[in-house]
Amino acid sequence: MTLKRSTARRGKTHFDPIDLEVLWNRLITVVDEAAYAVIRTSMSKVVVEGRDFGALLLDPKGRLVAADVSIASKTGTISIAVKELLKYFPANSLKPGDVLATNNPWWVMGHLNDVAVVAPLFHKGRLVGFAECMAHMADIGGCLSGPPREVYEEGLIIPPVKAMEGGRENPVFFAMLGANVRVPHQVLGDVRALVVGCRVMEAKLSEFLAEQRMSDLSGLADAILRKSRHAMRQGIRETIPDGIYQGSTSVDGFAQPLHIHARVEVRDGNVKVDFAGSSPQSDQGINCTLVYTAVWSTYTIKCLAGPHVPNNEGTFSPIQVTAPPGSFLNPRFPAPVRMKPSSGHYIPDAIIDALKDVIKDQILAESGNKFLVDFAGRDEADRPYSDVMFIMGGMGARGSKDGLHCMSFPANSSNLPVEILEATIPVRVLYKRIRPDSGGAGRYRGGCGQEFAFESVSATPLTVRAVHGKLSTPPGGLRGALPGAAGALLMNDKPIPDKTPRVMHRGDVMRLIVPGSGGMYPARERETAALMRDIENGIVTIESAVRDYALPRAAASVK
């Protein structure tokens, strides 16, 4: 019994399912190595701890072949930066050691803080692909004193530019960048870290190709994209029946609510999501460029139909996302975009609303999202301080199980310990507790939101901005279940609008009431044991059990 040994893989397009598994994972490790190189060389908290960056490997045509898996925050991105940059700098004009940069929100991740650095990758003198490393910069300049009405006010726009040429830094670029940001040391350090990431990817990819005796990635990339596309389409076929579906939701906006309308067309494993009918673009920074709209749209389809297919162009290719130019989900330049999450995070709700009747169990009701709270001020010794924290709402009930309490969906993050918060910012937390009855009643109950209150203990003014995006409408339930509880933001017991900075003085109390989430299926179908457990644990009150779950009052009081 023997195995045939293959000779050199030059031009090989067929890989057996074992070789492909091995090579694919090694290729992802190549990208991971680049990601760790970025972490090791960055000095900013956003990158090192928030892991708010990504490393991507693309083929010479600009197709995404592999994304790092160890860092979750930016994967799933549909950056089109490489394709756009190549229009300015054609591939055949690029030389080893060249590195391009841009932060165009219409190409990268939807706001100026995300800077992408792109390097051509050469192996034995041949262009074999591109590395794209991008990260959220600690600052990108711009106006902080009022709400920007144009992207120009939001910071420095980096046009397609060579950050490095033939391995040498472009001094003009670095000087311009350094002069326009508040923390040049960190920002220039992070851009250099991204360059290092690209360099490491080139070295590791070259090693990989030499080891595998491959002259380029073309055959392997085709195989990876083909398999991924096939798996994704298969997943879509198994999850979503063919058809055209309409769904909608709304977000708070500023003067009036913004409407999201999704038309989802599914044909044989391909999905087209179109947002015609959504509200026009806003003059406030809550617009989502199409790249960002596509991120949350594809994320949603992936969650529903193919959660564990690796991220690459093949995985995303069955999903097409469009939105009418001039709508807030595809705004025209120079619309302001800085606060995109406060609207973009609700895109999944509209898509799920469209599909709610045709998907079986792989679905969830509307979630309560989260508050992003930023603090800034100067202490008594006039030293500046600032920090950011997240306060989560409930995650919607799933197709076959309860929702999760205090768990943000779709964007993921983690909380800031109260003990750390109090040691860093002059506040005292009065309570941080689950909101009973905020999870929508259903056979599967929605996850509860929370209530968080803090008091300023500072002798100097403390500026606080709490951003949520959707407090006034309760997160909806699905399939006959009740919605979760809506949210609110209060200062000294008076409602205040979110997304707007407020100055707090000693003794002022801010209360963040984060929405719960919707339930799934009618509440009367809930198992009694599950309901009793919720009552015992104080997640559901007896009043709600009687009112929403139709529990006989006698049964409730026996307990």
Q: Judge whether 228 and 236 are in contact, CB under 8 Å.
A: no
Residues 317-356, one symbol each (x = binds other proteins by CB under 8 A, - = not), give: ----------------------------------------
Q: Judge whether 113 and 140 are in contact, CB under 8 Å.
A: yes
Burial of 257 (0-12, 13-18, 19+ CB in 10 A): middle
Instruction: Report the residue from 127, 188, 203, 418 that binds other proteins according to the rule CB under 8 A.
Output: 418
Q: Which amino acid is at 301?
A: I
Instruction: Kindly report the length of the chain.
Output: 559
Strands 64-67 and 99-102, sheet pairing = unpaired
Strand order in the sheet with 168-169: 64-67, 53-58, 126-136, 114-123, 99-102, 161-165, 168-169
Tell me: does residue 408 bind other proteins (CB under 8 A): yes
Q: Kindly state the tokens that stand for 160.
A: 């397609």
- Nearer residue to other proteins within complex by CB, 106 or 454: 454
Residues 134-173, interacting with other proteins (CB under 8 A): none
Instruction: Report the residue from 231, 376, 488, 491 that binds other proteins according to the rule CB under 8 A.
Output: 231
Tell me: does residue 382 bind other proteins (CB under 8 A): no
- Nearer residue to other proteins within complex by CB, 162 or 511: 511
H-helix segments, 42-135: 45-48, 81-88
Tell me: does residue 202 bind other proteins (CB under 8 A): no
Tell me: does residue 543 bind other proteins (CB under 8 A): no
Q: Kindly state the tokens that stand for 375.
A: 């603090």
Tell me: does residue 27 bind other proteins (CB under 8 A): no
Measured CA to CA, the distance from residue 107 to residue 62 in angstroms comes to 13
Beta bridge partners of 398: 364
Q: Judge whether 455 and 490 are in contact, CB under 8 Å.
A: no
| Interface stretch with other proteins, choices 274-282, 414-422, 472-480, 497-505 (CB under 8 A) | 414-422
Residues 430-459, interacting with other proteins (CB under 8 A): 430-434, 450
| Interface stretch with other proteins, choices 247-255, 262-270, 405-413, 504-512 (CB under 8 A) | 405-413
Measured CA to CA, the distance from residue 195 to residue 179 in angstroms comes to 20
Instruction: Report the residue from 93, 246, 414, 500 that binds other proteins according to the rule CB under 8 A.
Output: 414
Residues 38-57, interacting with other proteins (CB under 8 A): 39-43, 45, 48-49
Contacts of 185 (CB under 8 A, 6+ apart): 43
Instruction: Report the residue from 31, 364, 478, 556 that binds other proteins according to the rule CB under 8 A.
Output: 364
Residues 462-521, interacting with other proteins (CB under 8 A): none
Around 400, how many Cα atoms within 13 Å sit in the side-chain half-sphere?
4
Instruction: Report the residue from 123, 233, 302, 340 that binds other proteins according to the rule CB under 8 A.
Output: 302
Measured CA to CA, the distance from residue 361 to residue 171 in angstroms comes to 55
Instruction: Report the residue from 63, 123, 263, 405 that binds other proteins according to the rule CB under 8 A.
Output: 405
Tell me: does residue 70 bind other proteins (CB under 8 A): yes
- Nearer residue to other proteins within complex by CB, 136 or 162: 136
Q: Which of 151, 148, 176, 147 is nearest to 161 (CA)?
A: 176
Instruction: Report the residue from 234, 248, 322, 473 that binds other proteins according to the rule CB under 8 A.
Output: 234
Instruction: Report the residue from 99, 323, 335, 392 that binds other proteins according to the rule CB under 8 A.
Output: 392
Tell me: does residue 559 bind other proteins (CB under 8 A): no
Tell me: does residue 428 bind other proteins (CB under 8 A): yes
Measured CA to CA, the distance from residue 409 to residue 447 in angstroms comes to 11
Residues 274-293, interacting with other proteins (CB under 8 A): none
Tell me: does residue 271 bind other proteins (CB under 8 A): no
Measured CA to CA, the distance from residue 505 to residue 509 in angstroms comes to 9
